[in-house]
Structure 1
Amino acid sequence: MNRMIRIAAAAVLAVTLGGAFAQAAAINGEVKKIDEGAAKITLKHGPAKSLGMDEPMTMVYRVKDPALLKQVKVGDKVKFEAEEGDGGYTVTTIQKAK
């Protein structure tokens, strides 16, 4: 029985910490330009700690899935996640900020 309680507690802790890390990775920004043909988006954003960027900046990002570009328009405030790869930075998720 004690083993089951420890396993359950560990699972709850892992889910809780995983959620905290996922939220910390979200970056607040604003859509400045969308280039559907090149599958790129220009975002003005605050610090992006998950990418090692401590200062606000405006950058062009590739998008992992071009369908993401249909979810937003220029001027939208957004929350997004991105990852660094060999060819630069790629937006993996994006949604309008609430």
Structure 2
Amino acid sequence: MRLLIALMISLSFPAFAQHEAHTGHVTATRGVPLTEGTVKKIDGTAGEIVIQHGQLDSIGMPPMTMAFGVADKSWLTKLKAGDKIRFAAEIKGGNAIVSRYEMAK
């Protein structure tokens, strides 16, 4: 499953990633749109959060349930399965991460 996700990300990366001109790596931007999602699982050992989410235009992902890394590992102690969130997803080091989130209203 992770291989399939990695392949999908690598194929969509050039079309959707925003790059810094001088370094060539993805930048974290406030302009990345927030997407609705439901936390399905927190995996503190792996440093990941599993989210059932809608369309992620920022990384070219259709609606699905998948694992994400997080920009701040302390979030893993603040969230729990069942939480409704709005989050921004970006590609960092070839992996999909949650770069920011807020609790859904």
Q: Distance in 2 between matches of 1:96 and 1:82?
A: 15
| Paired residues, number | 77
Q: Distance in 2 between matches of 1:43 and 1:61?
A: 7
- Displacement of 1:86 after TM fit? 2.9
Q: Distance in 2 between matches of 1:68 and 1:93?
A: 10
Q: Identity of aligned pairs, percent?
A: 40
Q: Which residue of 1 aligns with 2:82?
A: 75
Contact between 2:32 and 2:88, CA under 8 Å: does it hold in 1?
Answer: no
Q: Distance in 2 between matches of 1:72 and 1:66?
A: 11
Q: Which has the higher contact order (CA 8 A, sep 6+)?
A: 2
1:56 aligns with 2:63: yes
Contact between 1:71 and 1:95, CA under 8 Å: does it hold in 2?
Answer: no
Q: Distance in 1 between matches of 2:68 and 2:99?
A: 10
Which of 1 and 2 has greater Rg? 1
- Displacement of 1:61 after TM fit? 0.4
Structure 1 residue ranges (4+ consecutive) displaced by more than 3 angstroms after TM superposition = 21-24
Q: Distance in 1 between matches of 2:31 and 2:58?
A: 11
SS at match of 1:82: strand
> Which one has a larger percent helix, Structure 1 or Structure 2?
1
TM-score (norm 1): 0.69
- Displacement of 1:24 after TM fit? 6.0
TM-score (norm 2): 0.65
**Superposition pairs for residues 30-45 of structure 1, below 5 Å?**
30-45=38-53
Contact between 1:68 and 1:93, CA under 8 Å: does it hold in 2?
Answer: no
